[in-house]
Structure 1
Amino acid sequence: MIKNNVETIVEGNKVIYKRYFDVPTELLFEVWSMPEHLSEWWGPDGFTLTTKSMDFTNGGIWEFIMHGPDGHDYKNKIQFTDIKEPHYIYYKHLGDGEGDQDVHFESKIIFEGAGEGTNLTMEQIFPSKEELERVNEKYGAIEGAKQHIGNLSKYLEKLK
């Protein structure tokens, strides 16, 4: 496991990101599950977040807007499919919920205790390898996810 950077593995239609965090599993889970934390770190570099609504339960919906550094707003809708505190969060990204945004994938966020810290695995599964390539080319998805995890790391440093 790479301790300071994000290990990234691309396998067909999925991308797996791994990183060790020097914080307890419960804290890492908490910052993935509460809007007041998510607004401090969610998204790639330069993005900010506004949560419209969040039902953090199995089957619950999280609607939010990512505000890009270019001034563009990106509506997003996520449905939580399986949550087991503090072990994992599985969800489906449903685009913008209005049919305009064409990005659909599933994510598995896995938190595994490792000594005093936590190993995080974030897996994104796209409908096909071609869809992953299209989304990456159009939106810079892989680099954006690495920045997303980097911003999480910066936020956790502030909480220590």
Structure 2
Amino acid sequence: MTNSNPSNQVVSKVVDGNTLVLERVFQAPRELVFKAFSEAEHLKHWWGPKGWTLPVCNVDFRPGGTWHYCMKCVDKNQGDFYGMESWGKALYKEITVPEQVIYTDGFSDAEGNISKDLPETLVQLDFIDLEGQTKLVNTGKYTSPEALQQVIDMGMLEGISQTFDNLDAHLENLQKNN
């Protein structure tokens, strides 16, 4: 499963059945893109698909630290999703500023308890400097091909594309205002 490659689109491919690699080029310096992933004040502006907000975003950005968040649907046009909350929790394993972040990511409840019923992902984010632009390579490893398929069936690819569109707009605004 590989998509075409306009520079602002997500390119995805499944590797070895349980690994999903997403790539996207952002028109912003690597340090700024990295910062957008590491600070709550940035994440609140762009994390989540269209029509969703991030009313809770607690980030302790260090190895062993966590990111606990809640996405909430605020778009009445999304029908049954309107008003829905989706909680998540990440545990940071390794951080190399501004090159790489490795963390586990899972669905959680409001107290931060990870759901055992939904797939957990080992995520590796690589931020590659392209002379003023940044290529983000997001590698997600799942426990099985079935776990990966479950998140794809939940709309993850469309959601991450919209999330990265939001990041594009946020980065553009930041650069315009500086």
Q: What TM-score, normalized by structure 2, do the two folds share? A: 0.83
1:5 aligns with 2:9: yes
Paired AA for residue 11 in structure 2: E
Whether 2:114 is the aligned partner of 1:109: answer no
Deviations 1:46-105 (A, max 9, x none): 111133532100010111111124111112111011110000111101320325462311
Counterpart amino acid of residue 10 in structure 2:
V
| 2:136 counterpart residue number | 120
1:75 is aligned to 87
Identical-pair percentage = 31
Q: Is the 8 A contact 1:110 1:122 kept in 2?
A: yes
Task: Please name the residue that 1:141 is paired with.
Answer: 156
Distance between the aligned counterparts of 1:71 and 1:116, measured in 2?
39
**Paired letter, 1:79:** L
Q: Could you tell me whether the CA contact under 8 Å between 1:49 and 1:66 is conserved in 2? A: yes
Instruction: Provide the residue aligned with 1:154 in structure 2.
Output: 169
Q: Extract unaligned runs of 5+ from structure 2.
A: 75-81
1:54 to 38, 56, 59: 59
* More displaced 10-residue stretch of structure 1: 27-36 or 119-128: 119-128
1:33 counterpart = 2:49: no
Runs in 1 of length 4+ with deviation above 4 angstroms?
none
The answer as to whether partners of 2:89 and 2:114 remain within 8 angstroms in 1 is no
- Seen in structure 2, the aligned counterparts of structure 1 residues 108 and 68 have a Cα distance that, compared at 3 Å, is same
**Residues 80 and 99 from structure 1, CA distance in 2 versus in 1: closer, same or farther, beyond 3 angstroms?**
closer
The equivalent residue for 1:88 is 100
Shift in alpha-carbon separation, 1:158–1:52, aligned structure 2, 3 A? closer
Q: Secondary structure at the match of 1:116?
A: coil
Q: 1:29 to 1:99 in 2, by over 3 A?
A: closer
1:130 CA displacement: 0.8
Partner AA of 1:104 in structure 2? E
The yes-or-no answer on 1:22 pairing with 2:34 is no
27-36 or 69-78, which deviates more? 69-78
- How many residues align? The count is 159
Taking the aligned partners of 1:9 and 1:99, their CA distance within structure 2 comes to 27
Larger Cα Rg: Structure 1 or Structure 2?
2
2: distance between equivalents of 1:13 and 1:40? 30
Q: CA RMSD in A?
A: 1.6
